Amino acid sequence: MHTVLLIVHMVIAVALISLVLIQRGKGADMGAAFGSGSSGTLFGARGSASFLTRTTAVLATLFFITSLSLAFMFNQKSEVKSVTDIVAPAAPTAPGDLPQGLPTETVQPAPADVPALPNQ
């Protein structure tokens, strides 16, 4: 479900970017008033602007809905605990408390290259 919603969100984002880039600015309307020929288009003189504006508004609404849905879904999904919240298992106190397969003798540390400090 997350993957499908994420793909739909990305498609809406690309469509929204494309629609915004296709639209003309508000200053371009002045050229249409002096006969730039936009009245002979498929949607009419103002029909194209209204159609693109409505489509942009619908896509923006869908974009916000999918954004909030994804944020809610991913927030509910995560149950990651902090490293400081994880309780470490208690150390065994007696040799019989060791799990099976672990050696019972203690290992002496290897001699260090640095000599020990004298006691003062």
Q: What are 42-73's pLDDT values in tens digits?
A: 555 555 568 888 999 999 999 999 999 999 98
Residue 15 amino acid letter: A
Q: Which amino acid is at 14?
A: V
**Would you say the pTM of this structure is higher than 0.75?**
no
DSSP secondary structure letter of residue 102: S
Give the three-state DSSP class for 68.
helix
